[in-house]
Amino acid sequence: MTSQLTFAVPKGRILDEALPVMARAGIVPEDGFHDKANRSLSFATQRADIGLIRVRAFDVATFVAHGAAQAGIVGSDVIEEFDYDDLYAPVDLDIGHCRLSVAKLAGDEAEDRSVSHLRVATKYPNLTRRHFEAAGVQAECVKLNGAMELAPSLGLARRIVDLVSTGRTLKENGLVETSRILDISARLIVNRAALKTDPRVAALVTAFREEVEARQAGAGAGAGAGQVAEAAA
């Protein structure tokens, strides 16, 4: 009997955009997956040979890197933070776009490069240290998993490093973005060993790659048609 593949997906911001992409690539969750009252972490799909797990984004990478899941979807921020040897990200899904940025209180006039040491609140200590080291600054990272925007105003840290989309949350908490560390999008990730030994994993890579190519081609065709119509008007 063929073992079931496990596909890991993240809770939170990426999932809503990922579900239509997954469906077009052939992975459709069971009905109970969409029930917000459902606290289950594992689900069946319309494919008998693929099951889903829904976990925190950082845990998606860990499950896949260690082979507990064979494939999954996660933001490139997570991939860059952990840099697992056994993790391979073959497809940029072109969804979940945002950025990882440094921010400070609007009234803080000190430039990052003007100090030798900064305390920084973040859940990305590795990326944060590398970014500040490149500027000649030693970053003392305070690990927070949420409410990052409170850290500067309460004196916990002078800088934060966090995900930014529109910048609205920063503005509402009196913060300004000072530098961009990384542009982020969601990626298909696979376990390297599984990719080599299980043809179904390679087939998933092909299916997701074809989905992205078809979507981007459609978007390009739509933009081209719009430009022609505008020119003819």
Distance CA(150)–CA(172), nearest Å, equals 11
Where are the chain's structural domains?
Answer: 5-96+185-222, 98-183
pLDDT confidence of 1, banded at 50, 70, 90? very low
Torsional sign, CA 98, 101, 105, 107: negative
Average pLDDT in the 68-80 region?
97
Distance CA(32)–CA(55), nearest Å, equals 16
Phi, psi of 88 (to 5 degrees): -130, 130
pLDDT(233) > 70 = no
Average pLDDT in the 202-219 region?
94
Phi, psi of 114 (to 5 degrees): -85, -5
**5-96+185-222 topology per CATH:** D-Maltodextrin-Binding Protein; domain 2 (3.40.190)
**What does the DSSP 8-state code read for residue 45?**
B
Distance CA(83)–CA(60), nearest Å, equals 13
pLDDT (tens digit per residue) in 75-114 = 999 999 998 999 999 999 999 999 999 999 998 887 776 7
Residue 146 is encoded by which pair of tokens? 């949420």
Residue 196 is encoded by which pair of tokens? 């080599």
Same fold, 5-96+185-222 and 98-183: yes
Output the pTM of the full model: 0.88
Distance CA(195)–CA(204), nearest Å, equals 10
Determine the pLDDT at residue 83: 86
**98-183 topology per CATH:** D-Maltodextrin-Binding Protein; domain 2 (3.40.190)
Number of Cβ within 10 Å of residue 83's Cβ equals: 11
Average pLDDT in the 198-207 region?
97
Instruction: Please give the single-letter amino acid code of residue 123.
Output: K
Terminal alpha carbon distance of the chain: 62
